[in-house]
């Protein structure tokens, strides 16, 4: 895993957030589903064990919402909240290796997101955080 002090920063690597997801899933209160998924991918087949269940909360955890809002607000200083939300989702997609296209944003913004984003509250209190954030942002115009 690259460090901030390396010549090429972590957010330049496609999938760099996968490692952080695995680390956060080590928390004793996490479901272990993330690690199950990664072990399944490594094995190249379904494992001979049940998939850990996730129980989604009706309400999001305040820490998760606050962290995501801070991420979007960080990008919204130059553009609309809608564009900032879209840029943040693209940043997440690159970090999770869902997208093959590295997002185009300033290095300072990428570094700030890297320093702010934390998987732990999202994994410990599962909820549709992006859907919640989107509906809150759209509701405010």
pLDDT tens digit sequence for 123-134: 899 999 999 998
pLDDT of residue 126: 93
Write the pLDDT tens digit of every residue in 3-62: 888 899 999 999 999 888 888 888 898 889 888 988 998 999 999 999 999 999 999 999
Q: Which tens digit of pLDDT belongs to each residue from 59-111?
A: 999 999 999 999 999 999 877 888 999 999 999 999 999 999 999 999 999 99
Spatial separation of the C-alpha atoms in residues 132 and 59, rounded to whole Å? 9
What is the Cα gyration radius of the chain? 16
> Alpha carbon 63 to chain centroid distance?
14
CB-neighbour burial class of residue 46 (10 A; exposed 0-12, middle 13-18, buried 19+): exposed
Question: What pLDDT is stored for residue 139 in this prediction?
Answer: 61
Question: What 3-state DSSP class applies to 48?
Answer: coil
DSSP-derived secondary structure for 87-121: HHHHHHHHHTTS-SS-----HHHHHHHHHH--SHH
How many residues are recorded in the chain?
141
E strand or H helix that includes residue 137: helix 129-139
What is the predicted pLDDT for the residue at 111? Answer: 95
* Sign of torsion over alpha carbons 44, 50, 52, 57: positive
């Amino acid at each position: 895993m690259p460090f901030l002090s390396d010549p090429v920063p972590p957010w330049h690597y496609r999938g760099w957030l996968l490692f952080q997801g695995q680390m956060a899933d080590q928390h004793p209160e996490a479901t272990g589903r993330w690690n199950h998924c990664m072990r399944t991918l490594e094995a190249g087949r379904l494992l001979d064990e049940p998939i850990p269940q996730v129980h989604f909360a009706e309400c999001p955890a305040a820490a998760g919402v606050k962290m995501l809002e801070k991420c979007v607000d960080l990008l919204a200083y130059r553009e609309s909240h809608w564009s900032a939300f879209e840029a943040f989702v693209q940043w997440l997609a690159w970090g999770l290796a869902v997208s093959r296209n590295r997002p185009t944003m300033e290095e300072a913004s990428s570094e700030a997101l890297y320093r702010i984003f934390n998987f732990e509250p999202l994994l410990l209190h599962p909820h549709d955080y992006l859907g919640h954030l989107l509906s809150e942002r759209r509701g405010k115009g």
